[in-house]
Structure 1
Amino acid sequence: MMWHLPVPNRLWQLLQPKRLAIFEACVIGLVSGLAGFLLKQQVGWLGGWRVYAAHVLPPWLILPAIGLCGGLLAGWLVERLAPEAAGSGIPQVKSALARLPVSLDLRVAVVKLVSTTLVLGSGLTLGRQGPTVQIGAALAAQLSRWVPTSPDYRRQLIAAGTAAGLAAGFNAPIAGVLFVIEELLQDVSGLTLGTAILASFVGAVVSRLLGGNELSVGMNADQINFLPQEIPLLLILGVLAGLLGGLFCQGVFLSLTFYRRVLRLGLPWRVGLAGLASGLIVALLPASFRDNAGMQELLVTGEASWQVTAVALVIRFGLTLIACGSGAPGGLFAPSLVMGSALGYLVGTGAQSLQNLSLVSGVSWGADLVGSPTVYALAGMGAVFSAVARGPITAIVIVFEMTTNFNLVLPLMITSVVAYLVSEQVFPGSLYTRLLEWNGIKLDSDAPADGLWAKLTAEDIMQGRVETLASELSLDEVVQAFSRSHHRGFPVLDEGKLVGIVTQTDLAVINQRGLAGDLPLREIMTLQPVTVRPSDPLTQVLYLLDRYKLSRLPVTEGRKLVGIITRADIIRVESDRLSGDHNRFGPQPEPSYVVHQTRAPALGQGRLLVPLANPQTASALLRLAAAIARERHFELECLQVILVPRDNSPSETSVRTTSSRRLLDRAVRLGKELKIPVHTQVRVAHDVAQAILETLKERHIDLVLMGWEGSTPTPGRIFGNVVDTVIRQAACEVVLVKLCSQTIPNRWLVPMAGGPNAQQAVQLLPALVSLSSAPEIRLCQVFEPSQPRPDQSNLERAARFLSRRLSQRGHGRAVPWKVSTTPVHATSVSHAVLDLARQDQCDVIVLGASREGLLQQVIKGNIPEAIARNSKRTVILVRGAVGS
């Protein structure tokens, strides 16, 4: 996704999408690694001070006191500053990756870092790897706000931060990426793995360089030797680990229920009581249990006796549930690894003791049936982790990366997979998903991401025609444009390219700074506005509107403006989709098919479409279109439609294009004479109107000029099947021409009613009268007979505009012109216009539609149709583009 931001060009060249992704991944990995190292150092320092205090002061007093105070302070920080930082943080990250509105930012990262330090340093038995995951994700989310991105790419950054956080916590870069895929996303179709892999690698490297190995097992390769005869014992260990993991998950919810329904205290008191209880229990145990980090190292390396290991397994199980249920910020990764190590060590030691006992009693089990308990301790680590986190692949890789011993892969695979299958029977579903559901957050995996919005693009909802202003307009003219329009903002064009945008907020600067009215618009407009491309998804549009608090977004191809999107457009699309208005019933024609086309250089500031059907009127229509194109610096797009029966596919039907191309060649020759770029195309279609509408959309047409017979024999139609459809559905400006004479027109009659389409007709006149040798323009307005002194300000304003424009024209030759105004009192508008046209012997009548559009005006009186049907003169009907 790309958009324009007010950033120096050289910086944008340096930060192209791929380079920017690499830079962001490195930054995310760096800050996540630093955060992980800082958390480890702070917890180690505070924990060391706690152990020292327990040696100097009575442990039964100091340990509960530290636990209570640390828990109260941590809970207060979380409750007051960042409630999202409660718990392990993994469920919050999972919901954020599922596009739920969960806050992740620098505030959450800082509070999580400080509160986790207080909780772990105060003696609560939790891990810091889960918090590093949330810290990494929050820092990545904050980066996405500093360097604004699309919602999809923001999700990529959060996933990268999550991987970097886990990698920094365990010094396991591969496991970080796998955990994101396996547990949090469970889908890689929309994930750019390169960003996550690079961030995870950098995070692990930074953490390892600064903090050394994490959970070091402290053994060499000779101590780890797997024997195939041990597979039955490993299966037993996997079953026991699955039971332990499932029981632990059940215990987590029992603890949560107890705190919520029995104690019913606020978060500070819940965490404080958990710290108090942990301190009291640890104070009653031997001194070796007071140092969580030391006990953790002792159990993981298998250096403790089986009695100490058994007690530690039970104590860790209970204390972790006490701390986790309180909502204390801390993770479950490290406790599950430690409990798994203790369980595996007990199984290995027990099996080895039974083997030794059998040898003493004279019963042989076979040589080397049981290997070192170290293998079982490490296999148990992965098994319990797999049972709790429901990530067997991640469990295997984490332990493997910590030991870097390939002999452990097969034991880890056996125990982790078996534990995963058993725990699913004991406690179905992901622990983190169940925690979200327990808090009322439902992850619907079957629903498509973003629902309706995932299928829509900017092109689907944008308005194809936009009212714009020129950068050279004076501020007085800009103020007048706002007063005449209901828009709250206008894109600003310079030589057909988008250079800025001006809104009502910008106009306030005029009064505040006392700016002169003749100052050009470029002095106050917003330069390089935020834009989207037609192919950008609606999620990107919504993100930018919310990120920059905008009410409208220009849609551009390069720097060419092709449409605009407002908040009202999004509401309208949602309403149409919900009400079903977008569904069309009955057999529908197939899309038209382009069988021939030519392209000229795209040098214009817009495009004018001329559908050519009648060779007799083609030349006159082309002259009118060329005059408008030359005046507005447009390119000409000429279309010829060949109809085929509905039972034939346009893309599979053979047609002759000789006569069509001959007709289009006229336009090409005219374009060369007038130096106007001319594009041509021949479409095969079931319906002419459909082919025209498809061309309008595909070629981003700004104005369509069509021939019109002046009446229609079709009942229920105003102008005919094709014209009615184009008027009703085309967003661009529409000009209908009923030709009654091929001679050069000189006398022009322009009825006015003061609406915007009448103004559009006046804006078009300078281009049209360029065909005249001595144009005479009469502006008239019909008033009710009851208005003896009508307001003629609209007539006078239009006359001044035309006089100024015609005096500026001439193209190197003196062209005489005349502009006059005539107020008319009559009860019938159509009769008054026809009478005036006969009296003045006008050649052309130019009509602007009412504010409601041509069809609405026709319903109220068929004024344009009545004038065209009853007049023997050329009639031009102008309908302005659909406003934003």
Structure 2
Amino acid sequence: MDPTKLDGNEGDSAPPENAEEVVKPLDLYRMSMLAFCLGIVTGFGAVLFRMLIGTIHNAAFLGRLSPLYDASQFTPPSPWGAWVILVPVVGGLAVTWLVNSFAPEAKGHGVPEVMDAIYFGGGVIRPVVAVVKSLASAIAIGTGAAVGREGPIIQIGSALGSTLGQWLRIPASQRIILVASGAGAGIASTFNTPIGGVLFATELMMPEISVGTFLPVALATGTATFVGRLFLGGAAAFLVPPQLGALDNHLASGFTLLLYALLGVAAGVAAALLIRALHWAEDAFDRVPGRYARHTLGMLFVGVMMYLLMRYAGHYYVEGVGYATIQATLNAQLQGGLFLLLLALCKMAATSVSLGSGSSGGVFSPSLFIGATLGAAMASLFHLLVPAAPVSVPAFAMVGMGAVVAGGTGAAMTAVAMIFEMTRDYDIVLPMILAVAFSIGTRRLLSRETIYTAKLVRRGHVIPNALHANMFLVQSAAAIMEADILVLRADVPFRDLLDRMGIAPFRHIVVTKAGMLYGVLRINTGLRRAVSHDNPTVTIGQLAHRNFIVVKRSDAAFEVISELQRRRAVMAVVVADSAVDGAFDVFGVIAKEHIADAVARSIDIFPRRDRGWIAPSTQSVRVNDASHTAHGKAFKVSDSEAEN
């Protein structure tokens, strides 16, 4: 007897619920070629995006048309004088029109929308998002909004990957891979950080990691970085002094590492404050009637701050991506701990107001700005308290950059790798790891969510905070099956079964007929009550479900689950691996609740994500006596339903 022929589904398998399930996936080689092409397109997109930012910036602030723009150099005083206050306002009006007219999802810093599309949208991003996000973010950054360029290029690259996947009609799982590949390629090309781009996609974008997912991401990221270097050069994003974070190999260096740990704590506080400030700003501006009015008000605030900083401190400082301030901090050109701390607070306020009022741009660059100024300020404080302490202001600024980024985004490996690639100084890695760990730990105490997931949680979309191996999938069918079953003939009266279950409370019945598997039956209170008051001669064969499958004890769980899904079966009957005298022994059944139990056991070894409150089953919870509403329909829980 062949167990593959024992199920009762032959000839009547249900059609798939949606067409995507029957789309044949591409092999790894074709996926890799698509990722390679996506990296080329995203690399060119990043170059054009930066040129567009430079053109708009030069026209808006200096009154000349030129794409040449070095964000690491301070913008000279504008010929418009005090009227420069209105430059962000005009840019904000253009951004509002673009976003509201063509792509509302282009508003904000972009990464949450990409994560939302991956986890809740099957990797579908509208093609128009790539165009609108490019224009809106270039206008916002070019006219002085205190946002970064990495969030837009991540969303642009992801939209390109999604569009390619939709055009080729590949399965959702592979479309998501292209979305993550586009995101990694975008951030790698804009920062010249290929390792950081791969890690960014791995930590934040990819639901699972395997050769089939990692290889396309790596190819897209490396290709995009190469294209970016062809046009933008291969120099590091920031120039730093030599031996930036070198520590001598003696015990006294432990004191310096302790100071780096304190910097990590401060960075975690700053990251949590930035997360809260962004949402405070969004809530505050949502109370202002009219999209144009609220964005005008926000950009007017940013314009006034820029002008006051230029007049009293010599530079616009908080406008745009802020790389000039970061570079000046690394060069130790900015002095005074209080002034540096003021710049960090000003940038935090300007970024929160920019995004909260409706601008389009990223939060990665502002986090670098806040981290650099905070780190330099902390170094100045340590010099003041312990003059003999071996503290380097540029080193603390660089470590502060990585610590705030890691604390805000939760991407620890990405932050360490990207700061290393930006500086090309390996000595910075050790203090960076320490500060990043303390930063993430401190931020988690103050804010459970990252700067990306907090926005999604407000929508009711919960993103997992870790990648767990599906350990239950490698278990055998014997490990997850329910063994307490009854095997009965189809002609057994149901009433006789109830009498037998009074002695041994079996819940699952395997039904046979003429020595062959015939069906499966799950006994519950509702079925007992319904049948016991009906025809007493009804048999279990009349009640049995015929849509079941047959699996062997050694079959892997993922094969069982796949077959259950494919055949739309209610249960799997587990039989012996080999026949005895032509017959297979039945050992158990696998239903959906058994799979759920296996999943719960497999993740129990990992730290659990505390979110919300769930009442223990043994605790009484008072509820309203009135009927509740779900999906627009009133319902009451009956005693029988509660018992089941």
Shorter-chain TM-score tier = 0.5 to 0.7
Q: Is the 8 A contact 1:29 1:201 kept in 2?
A: yes
Among 377, 394, 406, the residue aligned to 1:386? 406
C-alpha distance after superposition, 1:801-844 (max 9, x if no partner): xxxxxxxxxxxxxxxxxxxxxxxxxxxxxxxxxxxxxxxxxxxx
State the shift of 1:222 in Å: 3.0
Among 350, 354, 358, the residue aligned to 1:327? 358
SS at the partner of 1:374?
helix
Among 274, 299, 304, the residue aligned to 1:275? 299
Among 244, 267, 272, the residue aligned to 1:246? 272
Output the TM-score relative to the length of structure 1: 0.47
User: Superposed, which structure 2 residues align to 1:698-777 within 5 Å?
Assistant: none
| Matched letter for residue 303 of structure 2 | G
The corresponding residue for 1:284 is 308
Pairing 1:208–2:229 present: yes
State the shift of 1:377 in Å: 0.8
Q: Distance in 2 between matches of 1:264 and 1:329?
A: 19
Q: Distance in 2 between matches of 1:439 and 1:197?
A: 31
Q: Distance in 2 between matches of 1:122 and 1:383?
A: 28
Q: Distance in 2 between matches of 1:296 and 1:67?
A: 21
Q: Is the 8 A contact 1:131 1:330 kept in 2?
A: yes
SS at the partner of 1:329?
coil
The corresponding residue for 2:531 is none
Q: Distance in 2 between matches of 1:280 and 1:215?
A: 33
SS at the partner of 1:87?
coil
Pairing 1:38–2:55 present: no
- The change in CA–CA distance for 1:582 and 1:44 in structure 2 (over 3 A counts) is farther
C-alpha distance after superposition, 1:577-598 (max 9, x if no partner): xxxx999579x997799xxxxx
Q: Distance in 1 between matches of 2:579 and 2:207?
A: 47
State the shift of 1:415 in Å: 0.4
Among 92, 99, 109, the residue aligned to 1:71? 92
C-alpha distance after superposition, 1:5-28 (max 9, x if no partner): 9xxxxxxxxx98343222211111
| Matched letter for residue 85 of structure 2 | P
State the shift of 1:207 in Å: 1.6
- The change in CA–CA distance for 1:293 and 1:591 in structure 2 (over 3 A counts) is closer
The corresponding residue for 1:255 is 281
Q: Is the 8 A contact 1:386 1:416 kept in 2?
A: yes
Q: Distance in 1 between matches of 2:204 and 2:78?
A: 45
State the shift of 1:374 in Å: 1.3
Q: Distance in 1 between matches of 2:285 and 2:212?
A: 38
State the shift of 1:354 in Å: 3.7
Q: Distance in 2 between matches of 1:351 and 1:374?
A: 13
Worse overlay, 134-143 or 18-27: 18-27
SS at the partner of 2:243?
helix
Pairing 1:60–2:82 present: yes
C-alpha distance after superposition, 1:283-338 (max 9, x if no partner): 12224126644334323544222365333222111111111212311000000011
State the shift of 1:174 in Å: 1.5
Q: After the TM superposition, which parts of structure 1 deviate over 6 Å for at least 4 consecutive aligned residues?
A: 1-5, 444-449, 588-593
Q: Is the 8 A contact 2:61 2:143 kept in 1?
A: no
The corresponding residue for 2:592 is none
The corresponding residue for 1:182 is 203
Q: Distance in 2 between matches of 1:390 and 1:414?
A: 15
Among 201, 226, 232, the residue aligned to 2:258? 232
SS at the partner of 1:98?
helix
- The change in CA–CA distance for 1:377 and 1:649 in structure 2 (over 3 A counts) is closer
Q: Is the 8 A contact 2:241 2:331 kept in 1?
A: no
C-alpha distance after superposition, 1:10-69 (max 9, x if no partner): xxxxx98343222211111111111112121221232233332584644322x2222111
Q: Distance in 1 between matches of 2:341 and 2:56?
A: 27
State the shift of 1:128 in Å: 0.6
C-alpha distance after superposition, 1:638-682 (max 9, x if no partner): xxxxxxxxxx97755543xxxxxxxxxxxxxxxxxxxxxxxxxxx
- The change in CA–CA distance for 1:59 and 1:372 in structure 2 (over 3 A counts) is same
C-alpha distance after superposition, 1:409-446 (max 9, x if no partner): 11100100100000111111222222012234444789
The corresponding residue for 2:480 is none
| Matched letter for residue 329 of structure 2 | L
Q: Distance in 2 between matches of 1:319 and 1:233?
A: 29
State the shift of 1:146 in Å: 2.3
The corresponding residue for 1:409 is 429
The corresponding residue for 1:439 is 459
State the shift of 1:151 in Å: 1.2
Pairing 1:337–2:368 present: yes
The corresponding residue for 2:335 is 305
Pairing 1:399–2:419 present: yes
State the shift of 1:190 in Å: 9.0
- The change in CA–CA distance for 1:222 and 1:447 in structure 2 (over 3 A counts) is closer
The corresponding residue for 1:318 is 349
Pairing 1:132–2:146 present: no
The corresponding residue for 1:197 is 218
- The change in CA–CA distance for 1:447 and 1:428 in structure 2 (over 3 A counts) is closer
SS at the partner of 1:328?
coil
- The change in CA–CA distance for 1:202 and 1:583 in structure 2 (over 3 A counts) is farther
Q: Distance in 2 between matches of 1:153 and 1:172?
A: 24
Q: Distance in 2 between matches of 1:220 and 1:156?
A: 39
| Matched letter for residue 59 of structure 1 | G
Q: Distance in 2 between matches of 1:422 and 1:650?
A: 53
State the shift of 1:4 in Å: 9.2
| Matched letter for residue 27 of structure 1 | C
| Matched letter for residue 81 of structure 2 | P
State the shift of 1:160 in Å: 0.8
C-alpha distance after superposition, 1:137-156 (max 9, x if no partner): 00001111222211111111
How many residue pairs match? The answer is 451
The corresponding residue for 1:173 is 194
SS at the partner of 2:334?
coil
- The change in CA–CA distance for 1:301 and 1:146 in structure 2 (over 3 A counts) is farther
Pairing 1:430–2:450 present: yes
Q: Is the 8 A contact 1:124 1:274 kept in 2?
A: no
The corresponding residue for 1:352 is 383
SS at the partner of 1:192?
helix
The corresponding residue for 2:438 is 418
- The change in CA–CA distance for 1:447 and 1:370 in structure 2 (over 3 A counts) is closer
Q: Is the 8 A contact 2:408 2:451 kept in 1?
A: yes
Who wins on radius of gyration, i.e. which is larger? 1
Which blocks of at least 5 consecutive residues in structure 2 are unaligned?
A: 1-19, 64-75, 470-540, 554-573, 587-644
- The change in CA–CA distance for 1:3 and 1:187 in structure 2 (over 3 A counts) is closer
Among 25, 37, 42, the residue aligned to 1:27? 37
* Structure of higher RCO (CA pairs closer than 8 Å, 6+ residues apart): 2
User: Superposed, which structure 2 residues align to 1:578-617 within 5 Å?
Assistant: 584=544
Pairing 1:146–2:156 present: no
The corresponding residue for 2:509 is none
Q: Is the 8 A contact 1:30 1:206 kept in 2?
A: yes
Q: Is the 8 A contact 2:325 2:369 kept in 1?
A: no
- The change in CA–CA distance for 1:223 and 1:174 in structure 2 (over 3 A counts) is closer
| Matched letter for residue 337 of structure 1 | L
State the shift of 1:684 in Å: 3.7
User: Superposed, which structure 2 residues align to 1:777-796 within 5 Å?
Assistant: none
SS at the partner of 2:246?
coil
- The change in CA–CA distance for 1:93 and 1:438 in structure 2 (over 3 A counts) is same
Q: Is the 8 A contact 1:93 1:134 kept in 2?
A: yes
Output the TM-score relative to the length of structure 2: 0.64
